[in-house]
Structure 1
Amino acid sequence: MNAHATEEITSAVHAAVQAAVWAPSVHNTQPWSFVVDGEEIALRADSDRGLRTGDIMGRERLVSCGAALMNIRLVLRGLGHEARVRVLPDPDRPALLATVRLGESAEADEHTRTLCARIEHRRTHRAGFTETPVPDQLVDELVQQAAAEGARLTPVRSEAAVRALAALTEAAQEVQSQDRLFTLEVLRWARPPGSTRAEGVPAEAYPREPRRTRPHFAQRDYAHGHSWGGESDRSAATSTGLVAVLTTLSDSREDWITAGQALQRILLHADAHGVRAAFHTQPLEMFHLREFMRQELLSGEYPQMIMRLGFTPDEGRSVRRPIAEVLEERGTT
């Protein structure tokens, strides 16, 4: 391999890892690390960044890492390389979630380039939306994005079902807010104003005085009694938006990674059309509520994410750790 080809591969691999860290993760825990060995990227789960109370099985951690894997795949394709992916390649190394190698040259299509351009722009929303509805055509496209990754996105059209999901979310939030371990875990990832930590949820990433949506979907209490939060005027942003649930047919570790990849593809496609997402994972962190959802609302499919989608003038803020903190390099091409 000549020097120019080697340099091109090295550049592509590093660009893919740089993009991976911009994936969404629960509480912005960024529960991943990467090992680069020549033209192979290994994606590993970082158990030290897991939620020992809210995510005992590691489901949300793997969904987060699946979103990072989606970014790797997109960027490699955007740079003209097929990504050869092996998910859970070694049963004896459970922290190794996937390996990605550069495959044959492949020209990126316009859609791939569009998604790549949104990776660092996408932000999680934590309030209401404007009254502008998400267009039906875009909703259909988001459903297709999920299906392309082997998951299902179900827009919740029934007002009764939306109310039920809102009630389950509020019930879970109320219970968790009274649980000391749950509360301490959330506070671990809450960043006070002026914090320089490159992880967790910034105080400016949610409203200081949140307005209730109709129906109301409870938000996490990252401020916990402090007067933290953004100053933006959200007086017009009280719509619930479009409620949707991401599901899989089974509930293995591979399914969780699949769900994460589908989730990120949905979010990037939505962001390219000016639509942002708010997440509500509280009822999914409680076995009986998640099982109730599965059996009574989702025809037996396993819920992996509850989200609201809509338009907002807010750009939002986010932070990420420096690449040096998550990347280990072992070889050269």
Structure 2
Amino acid sequence: MAVHTAKQALDAAVEAARWAPSVHNTQPWTFVMSEGEIGLRADVDRKLRVSDASGREMLISCGAALFTMRTALRGAGVEPVVRILPDPDRPALLATVRPGAESEPDERTRALCGEIERRRTHRAGFTDLPVPRRLVEALVKDASQEGARLTPIGSPQAVEVVAALTRAAQGVQSGDRRFSLEVIRWGLPPGSARKDGVPAAGYPREPVRTDPHFAQRDYSWRHDWGSEAGQATQAATGVVALLTTPGDSREEWIAAGQALQRVLLHASAYGVSAAFHTQALEAHHLREFLREELCSGEQPQMIMRLGITFEDKDSVRRPLSDLVD
């Protein structure tokens, strides 16, 4: 076994959880260590007040952290015992996790553990290398095992619809000073010492156009920040996919986050990265259109593109001392 005590397993789980993906890399979580278990709490001070007033994206981010903890515990040689939303009187407490029975981690678990710190969000186009169909099919199965549905969009017309909705939402948000200020709060200037947000090397200085074009967040708004690497050669759209859940409860937002991280870690193990587009999901009418027209009535929780890139971006994470009580 990789870890010999319950405390070591819990420490490893929290260390891993801080590497989970989150909207704008806000890292909207804290952890409480007590009586042999971890309490995962939403850090509501990090919620996006303008674009995520309901907290949906915050809870998806926390769900990704929860799956990361589950994976790290399995990698440490114990089965995780999880309770979701265990206390109605404490809505910020999203889950508790404690080590259960000992179990030898299998090859798949070890592979996922190896990607926790290596996985990166991509914010541009991809190379022309195709994502293997068998891998996409496996990712669909991954999501279903966490209570969500991953639907790759095969129709070029449907891909164009999703791209157009993304462009429309980005255009509206770019013209709204409140949205713009919220985004640039998390877009870091070169040389920033902050341990949250998106480093300047992690987003393009100028938009990288794909065909059809999926608009990206303008983290460099009115600044000459960002990276120029790869803009000429990495412009493929990749595989466009929608992550949905049957309903739209807090439990399902957390489930969507767990499904998302399971998909991302599996994809990363095969050299496949993801780019996220949440703009249309932050506009109620556009999200409803997606639900009714492309999601068979299910609730869209994430729009993503999957593809292959050879760029190696840096990422930043807050220290454990800021996260653990």
Same fold (TM over 0.5): yes
Aligned 1:110-149 pairs, distance under 5 A: 110-149=107-146
Show the counterpart of 1:277: 274
CA distance in 1, matches of 2:137, 2:230: 31
Post-superposition CA distance 1:273-327 (Å, at most 9, x none) = 0000000000000111000100011110100000000001111121000011000
Residues 230, 311 of structure 2: 8 Å contact kept: no
Q: What amino acid does structure 2 have at the position aligned with 1:205?
A: G
CA contact (8 A) 1:10 1:38 kept: no
Per-residue deviation, 1:234? 2.7
The one of 88, 93, 102 aligned to 1:105: 102
Contact 1:293 1:303 in 2 (8 A): yes
CA deviation profile, 1:121-150 (whole Å, cap 9, x unmatched): 000000000111111000001001101111
Partner of 1:81: 78
Q: What CA distance in whole angstroms lies between the structure 1 residues aligned with 2:163 and 2:255?
A: 25
Match of 1:37 among 14, 34, 44: 34
2:60 equivalent among 58, 63, 69 = 63
Distance 2:110 2:80 in 1: 15
TM-fit CA distance, 1:213: 0.3
Task: Note the aligned Cα RMSD (angstroms).
Answer: 1.0
What one-letter code is carried by the residue in structure 2 that aligns with 1:47?
V
Deviates more, 1:232-241 or 1:94-103: 232-241
Q: Which runs of 5+ in 1 are unaligned?
A: 1-5, 329-333
- Secondary structure of 1:201's aligned partner: coil
Determine the C-alpha separation between the residues in 2 that align with 1:83 and 1:7: 15
- For 1:252 and 1:211, locate their aligned partners in 2 and report how far apart those are by CA, in whole Å: 35
- In structure 2, C-alpha distance between the alignment counterparts of 1:263 and 1:211, rounded to whole Å: 24
1:96 to 90, 93, 96: 93
CA offset digits 1:12-68 (Å, max 9, x no partner): 111100000000000000000000013200000000000011001000000000000
Partner of 1:232: 229
Letter in 2 for 1:318: S
* 3-state SS of 2:267 partner: helix
Taking structure 2 as the reference length, the TM-score comes to 0.98
Alignment correspondent of 2:48: 51
Asked if structure 1 preserves the Cα contact closer than 8 Å seen for 2:123 and 2:216, the reply is yes
Deviation at 1:208, TM superposition (A): 1.8
Deviation sequence 1:169-208 (CA, Å, 0-9, x none): 0000000011111111111111101100000011110122
Query: Runs of at least 4 residues of structure 1 off by over 4 A?
Result: none
Secondary structure at 2:166's aligned position in 1? helix
Query: Aligned pair 1:296/2:293, yes or no?
Result: yes
* SS state at 1:244 partner: strand
Which residue in 2 is equivalent to 1:3? none
1:28 aligned partner: 25
SS at match of 1:258: helix
2:158 maps to which residue? Answer: 161
TM-score for both structures, normalised by structure 1: 0.96
How far is 1:252 from its partner?
Answer: 0.2
State the partner residue of 1:331: none
| Displacement after TM superposition at 1:235 (Å) | 1.3
2:12–2:76 Cα contact (<8 Å) kept: no
Map of 2:192 onto structure 1: 195
Percent of aligned pairs sharing the same letter: 63
What CA distance in whole angstroms lies between the structure 2 residues aligned with 1:44 and 1:21?
A: 13
- CA drift at 1:210: 3.1
2:160 counterpart of 1:173: no
Q: 1:9 aligns with which of 6, 9, 12?
A: 6
Amino acid at match of 1:45: A
Count of equivalent residues: 323
